[in-house]
Structure 1
Amino acid sequence: MTTADLTPAAALRAHDLRVAYDGTEVLRGMDLELRTGEWLGLIGPNGSGKSTLLRALVGLVPSSGSVELGTGGTPGPTDLSLMPQSPELPPGMTVVEYVLLGRTAHLGWLRSESESDRRVAIDVLRRLGLASFAGRTVRQLSGGEAQRVVIARALAQQSPVLLLDEPTSALDVGHQVEVLELVDELRREDGLTVVAAMHDLGTAARYADRLALLDRGSLAALGSPAEVLSEDLVSRVYGHPVRVHELDGHLVVVPAPRVPRRTGAPGPVPLPVRTRPQRPDLGVS
């Protein structure tokens, strides 16, 4: 067996991918190869192109360049599944009805969900520990429960590549860990390829096999978390000095310490004291 035999096959390739809005390029010359079964974390400042890249991969925005499956050919509607950053939870819709929306890509024109589609949805809910929520409306769920249901909808599509746009936005730390551990478990069990835009750099380093650092629509770095999360590079791209530490075997990225205030600096200017004007003495007692 050679070294090449041990290299995971490609799940998806993007070459010279470009997106422009109103004549301004917001994603330029993006080249990526996603390995089957890996977790690729997309990091970068706000506006760096993370969400645009995900939407371009799945074909939701006009783009130039090419996106193809590892086996060749353009991805179809069942090959990629995108979990958006702020999914709409329709009022009155039950959890199982919402998860069934993930089967839409498999339906023909004017076809409704079959019993097989319903079995897929129920099975996904059961695996995610959400079977007891099937009849509850989506607006009745807590933040963590809602995020799990949105993931369930994405998984019900049964696509080999799962794209996540800030999957833990607006969640507390406990629910963040719960959702990310769930995605990682499903990735390892089902061989999913995961691409996730992630805001927190330490969390991205904890779960992703590789990180892609985006800077103003371009790929600034691609590699292992240890290779990408260098203090100099991250400080330059984010425009603020950071420190990278290792804690219990995991990388943690924090802002550089604040510069202490100079002693002897002038304090706040006191506000003038307002006094009531004295009434003139009119000689009246």
Structure 2
Amino acid sequence: MVTGKSDRVFNGFVYAILIAVALMSIFPLLYVVSMSLTPYSEVVKNGGFVVIPRSLSFEAYERIFADPALGRSMLVTVFVTVVGTIVNLLLTTIAAYPLSRRNLKGRTFFLLFIVVTMLFNGGLIPTYLIVQSLGILNTVWSLIVPGAIATFNVLVMKSFFENLPEELFESAKIDGAKEFRILWQIVLPLSVPSVMTVGLFYMVGHWNSFFSAVLYITDSDLHPLQVVIRNMLLLSQSSELQAEVTVPTAAMQMAAVIAGSLPIIAVYPFIQKHFTKGMLLGAIKG
């Protein structure tokens, strides 16, 4: 409650900072959307910088979505994102739950062994050779299997499981419940925020998959969305250098950013509540 002039001045200062931060956050998004909808003539007239276009043009989006490769790559990305996230959550849960139980024999050794993988890895070439030996090169599984489990996400979920009351596990065991039943009927229903948080991490990672696709996939029909968008942008840049164009490269780039980001942006509001809660609760204990 504001009781004096000093409080009003302080609140005004806080609101000014919040408004400035909000504007700085909104401006890049506004710029991207505006540039993607700005006609070529207006882009040239304004020196390539437009915040609020005077007229709208959807030609950049038409050029992007007219390419059949985009629809095909979208299906590949959706498959990798959905199936990959399910695999990730399944393996992460299976790894995190036993590590959260303090009566697990060798728990300290396993935790140390897992944490070491965050500091050291086998390297790019050994990883490529393993993927090749598994016979999944040039398949969508090469985008899922190598990153099937992330150490950081295991630790986040483990910390959340540790915060659950121990009395729940004791009462369940007294009733004769086994570990799998405890995990499925007690732990997971209470861990929705943690699962949503980790799932969002995995989902965004799969949706933005680029380097793994370039490394493991040579068949253009199996390229995910990000690779196809990058190829389309390179093609538009070369076309701009060779001939007269009606759609500026900047508009194509911004339209590609919107096309690649919009699905994730649309999903986020539905899990934002769980995501925020999961980040807070999962960080209480180490």
TM-score by length of 1: 0.23
Structure number with higher strand proportion: 1
TM-score by length of 2: 0.23
Q: Which of 1 and 2 has greater Rg?
A: 1
